[in-house]
């Protein structure tokens, strides 16, 4: 799959989401649908956005016993999404079963990526709350290696972690990076950020961009700027 910009459609209703996508008349961006919208609008929102010709990253971060995750993934795969995800903390076995559940009868499947440690988890909280004594960088690399061993396509990580993941897991192992901001724009609540051109330079495969596009005065222009800077075209 080619490198691309994924717009995080963090809206709370179907109407708001579709009104936003209506603005894109001459292009069909790859979009990310998260828990809030999926739980509010249900699988119909996925079908509707697919029907309009967009690729979809369904960001539900599954984490349960392997058999449950496999069966849930079978349902998501039949929705014809292009990318979905799990928590690597669910173990290699769970990730293998997730992959198995995604395989369609025609041999195709959506991309499957894993969350290593959420960027909202600090090293201190990880060590104290989760009783993981290793450092956070070491933990992220270890979880990324588990993800590769399970046969998944890549991990979600901060752009500042992408290089070490690529070094540990190989350049074909995908990194999907949120925390993207234009050089001249506000950080919002993101801390560890990079601009689209920087994300290209460190080898990120997909960047996930929310507010710099969704809250822009002209979202289509912001999206096009992002694509131009990320793909270097
Ligand atoms: O608006 P903004 O560009 O900050 O949105 C980033 C998107 O990426 C949001 O949907 C957020 O939940 C998601 N995300 C993130 N950091 C992670 C994983 C996902 O910002 N580690």
- List pLDDT tens digits, range 34-49: 999 999 999 999 999 9
Give the Cα separation of 213 and 228 in Å (integer): 13
Q: How far is the CA of 86 from the centre of ligand 1 (A)?
A: 15
Ligand 1 atom with the smallest distance to the CA of 181 is 3
- Percent of the residues in the chain that have a pLDDT greater than 90, as a whole number: 90
Q: Which one of the listed residues 61, 70, 103, 166 is annotated catalytic?
A: 61
pTM of the predicted structure, to 2 decimals:
0.95
Residue 188 clears pLDDT 90, i.e. is over it: no
Q: Tell me the average pLDDT across 127-146.
A: 96
> How would you class 185 by CB atoms within 10 Å of its CB: exposed for 0-12, middle for 13-18, buried for 19 or more?
middle
Average pLDDT in the chain: 95
What SS3 state is found at 199? Answer: helix
Residue 139 clears pLDDT 80, i.e. is over it: yes
61 is catalytic: yes
Nearest partner of 96 among 52, 66, 74, judged by Cα: 66
> How would you class 177 by CB atoms within 10 Å of its CB: exposed for 0-12, middle for 13-18, buried for 19 or more?
buried
Confidence of residue 190 (pLDDT cuts 50, 70, 90): confident
Q: Tell me the average pLDDT across 84-110.
A: 97
Nearest partner of 85 among 141, 37, 151, 155, judged by Cα: 155
Report pLDDT for 186.
Answer: 82
Q: How far is the CA of 32 from the centre of ligand 1 (A)?
A: 10
118 lines ligand 1 (CB under 6 A): yes
Report pLDDT for 1.
Answer: 61
177 lines ligand 1 (CB under 6 A): no
What SS3 state is found at 165? Answer: helix
178 lines ligand 1 (CB under 6 A): yes
Q: How far is the CA of 107 from the centre of ligand 1 (A)?
A: 31
43 lines ligand 1 (CB under 6 A): no
Give the Cα separation of 161 and 155 in Å (integer): 10
Residue 185 clears pLDDT 80, i.e. is over it: yes
Confidence of residue 21 (pLDDT cuts 50, 70, 90): very high
- Give the residue with greater pLDDT, 206 vs 191: 206
């Amino acid at each position: 799959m080619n490198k691309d910009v994924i717009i995080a459609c963090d809206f709370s209703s179907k109407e708001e989401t579709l009104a936003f996508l209506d603005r894109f008349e001459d292009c069909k961006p790859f979009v990310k649908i998260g828990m809030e919208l999926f739980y509010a609008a249900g699988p119909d929102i996925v079908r509707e956005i697919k029907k309009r010709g967009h690729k979809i990253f369904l960001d539900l971060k599954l984490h349960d016993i392997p058999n449950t995750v496999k069966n849930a993934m079978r349902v998501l795969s039949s929705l014809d999404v292009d990318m979905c995800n799990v928590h690597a903390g669910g173990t290699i076995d769970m990730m293998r079963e997730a992959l198995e559940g995604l395989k369609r009868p025609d041999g195709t499947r959506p991309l499957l990526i894993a969350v290593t440690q959420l960027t909202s988890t600090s090293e201190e909280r990880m060590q104290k709350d989760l009783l993981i004594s290793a450092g956070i960088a070491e933990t992220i690399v270890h979880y990324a290696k588990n993800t590769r061993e399970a046969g998944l396509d890549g991990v979600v990580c901060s752009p500042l972690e992408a290089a070490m993941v690529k070094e540990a897991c190989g350049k074909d192992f995908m990194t999907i990076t949120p925390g993207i901001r234009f050089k001249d724009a506000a950080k919002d609540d993101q801390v560890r950020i990079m601009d689209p051109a920087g994300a290209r330079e460190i080898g990120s495969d997909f960047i996930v961009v929310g507010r710099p596009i969704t809250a822009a005065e002209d979202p289509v222009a912001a999206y096009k700027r992002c694509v131009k800077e990320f793909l270097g075209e």
